[in-house]
Amino acid sequence: MARIAELLSAGRTWSFEFFPPRSDAEQATLTRTIHELEPLKPSFVSVTYRGGPESRKRTFDLVTAMLHMTTLTPMAHLTCVGHTRLELADILVEYRKAGVENLMALGGDPLRTGEGRASELGHAIELVELARAVGGFSIGVAAHPAGHPASPSLGADRARLAEKLALADFAVTQFFFEPEQYAALVDDLARRGLAKPVLPGIMPVTSLASVPRMAEMGSPVPGWAIERLGSAAERGGDGGVRAEGIAMATELCRTLLELGAPGLHFYTLNRSTATREIYRALGLAPALSPTS
């Protein structure tokens, strides 16, 4: 199994993110998606984690299945929420026993009432420290080009990112839409003496219905992009919106690579079509079947 820090040292990486299925139907969709994306030979893939015993098992099962049954290099997400320090240490040890070497250390969103116990660790940096103590992991952390929604200011968010990235190996950003935000983030870290890789996160807008949800996630779609999508809807309906969203994401990827980004990380939502289309447009993959 490859360590992501080593992959990044060797050159640009291309990676995909999945979430664990919660039903047989979601499992079937994810299985098909993995089958369709595996031929693209991504550098690694990541699996999200929401917190709590049920999500813990789903993430662990998916990560270890990928490790032992596919050619993919998986990275497990882990959050502080809903766990004691001892529980988190146990999870980390189990991952190492299973051969998993790549970890995304996250603070995590607060659990809803009744979903789990109070968290013993309050911030991702504490989880990074714990993973370092366990040993054997290549560790990533999250970055927010526009600042984390819960941060009191952009400056405070960047300062906290610099602290945890100093202990980690790399960062992956939340999705965003304007390359200037990514460039400003990397420049800010450089001024703080940090030159570790920061992978930009990419999520194309494939429907107008997703726009409000993206804003809720802390990455609002900018006005100029909404105008482009609206014009596309007038010309071509839902299909036009999807095509325009793919085009905008492709443009963003090209600009980020021109800026020197160390790779691209695609939020797939457990679907393959959009990612494969962007791959083909960027010349990263051969022509593949258009099925999704």
Per-residue pLDDT of the chain (292 residues; tens, 9 = 90+): 799 999 999 999 999 999 999 888 999 999 999 999 999 999 999 999 976 667 788 899 999 999 999 999 999 999 998 889 999 999 999 999 999 999 999 998 766 545 556 678 989 999 999 999 999 999 999 999 999 988 999 999 999 999 999 999 999 999 999 999 999 999 999 999 999 999 999 999 999 999 999 998 889 999 999 999 999 999 999 999 999 999 999 999 999 999 999 999 999 999 999 999 999 999 987 544 444 3
Burial class (CB in 10 A: 0-12, 13-18, 19+), 68: exposed
Is residue 14 within 8 Å of 264, Cβ to Cβ? yes
Nearest Cα to 4, choosing from 160, 285, 201, 198? 198
- What the block records as the tokens of 117 is 């116990």
What are the residue ranges spanned by the domains of the chain? 4-205+261-271
pLDDT value of position 81: 86
Looking at residue 132, its amino acid is: R
| pLDDT computed for residue 52 by the predictor | 64
Residues in the chain: 292
Rounded CA separation 256/264 (Å): 9
Q: Is 17 a catalytic residue?
A: yes
Give the pair of three-digit tokens for residue 47: 């699996």
Residue 232 corresponds to which tokens in the numbers above? 């596309």
Q: What is the structure's pLDDT at 108?
A: 84
Q: What is the pLDDT of residue 57?
A: 87
Locate tokens 């291309």: which residue?
14
Q: Under CATH, what is the fold of the domain 4-205+261-271?
A: TIM Barrel (3.20.20)
- What is the structure's pLDDT at 189? 97
Helical H segments across the chain, by residue range: 4-10, 24-37, 53-69, 85-98, 124-134, 154-167, 179-191, 211-216, 223-258, 273-282
Instruction: Please state, as a whole number, how many other Cβ atoms lie within 10 Å of the Cβ of residue 198.
Output: 24
Gap between the terminal Cα atoms of the chain: 28
92 Cβ neighbours under 8 A, 6+ residues apart: 78, 103, 130, 131, 134, 137
Q: What is the reported pLDDT for 68? A: 93
Q: What is the pLDDT of residue 112?
A: 58
Query: Rounded to an integer, what distance in angstroms lies between the CA atom of residue 259 and that of residue 220?
Result: 22
Q: What pTM did the predictor assign?
A: 0.93
Both tokens assigned to 213 = 């949800």
pLDDT of residue 135: 97
Residue 24: CB atoms within 10 A of its CB come to: 8
Q: Which one, of 187, 188, 123, lies nearest residue 155 by Cα?
A: 188
Between CA 252 and CA 261 the distance in angstroms is 11
Which listed residue (17, 36, 101, 244) is catalytic? 17
